[in-house]
Amino acid sequence: MMAAVTSARSSLSDRIRERRRMAAAWLSGPGLWVIIALFMTWAVLQERDAFTVGIVSGSIFALGALGLTLIYGVLKFGHFAHGDTMMFSAYIAFFLLGGFIVGERPGDELQVLPVTVNDLPGAGDAIWKFSFGYGLWVAMAAAAVLTAGIMVGLDRLVYRRLRDRKSGIVIFSIAALGVAIATRALMFIFYGPSPRLYYPGIRERLDLPFDVSLLADQLFIFATAVVVTALIYLLLFYTKLGKAMRAMADNADLARISGINTDRIILQTWIVAGGLIAVAGVLLALQVQLDPELGFVLLLPLFASAILGGLGNPQGALVGGLIVGITQEVAVTLDLPLIGEVSAGYKFSIAFIILVLMLLVRPRGLFGARV
Stretch that binds other proteins, among 2-10, 98-106, 125-133, 203-211 (CB under 8 A): 98-106
By the rule CB under 8 A, 253 interacts with other proteins:
yes
Q: Which of residues 42-81 bind other proteins (CB under 8 A)?
A: 77-78, 80
Interface region with other proteins, contact rule CB under 8 A, candidates 29-37, 44-52, 270-278, 343-351: 343-351
Which residues have a Cβ under 8 Å from the Cβ of 371 and sit 6 or more positions away? Answer: 72, 73, 76, 249, 311, 312
Least distance between other proteins and beta carbon 178 (Å): 3
**Which of 32, 138, 145, 169: binder of other proteins (CB under 8 A)?**
169
Count of residues of this chain found to bind other proteins when the rule CB under 8 A is applied: 70
* Local structure of 340: helix, strand or coil: strand
Q: Which amino acid is at 323?
A: I
Across the strands, what pairs with 208?
A: 212
Q: Does 257 sit near other proteins (CB under 8 A)?
A: yes
Tell me the C-alpha to C-alpha distance, in Å, between residue 77 and each of 82, 199, 328: 12, 36, 26
- 233 interacts with other proteins by CB under 8 A: no
Question: DSSP string covering 146-206, please?
Answer: HHHHHHHHHIIIIIHHHHHTT--HHHHHHHHHHHHHHHHHHHHHHH-SS-B-SS-SPPPEE
CA 77, 177, 186, 295 dihedral sign is positive
- The residue within the footprint of other proteins, chosen from 4, 106, 210, 337 (CB under 8 A), is 106
Q: Which residues bind other proteins (CB under 8 A)?
A: 77-78, 80, 103-106, 158, 161-162, 165, 167-171, 173-175, 177-186, 188-189, 192, 240, 243-244, 246-247, 249-251, 253-261, 296, 299-300, 303-304, 307, 343, 345-346, 348-349, 351-353, 355-356, 359-360, 363, 368, 370
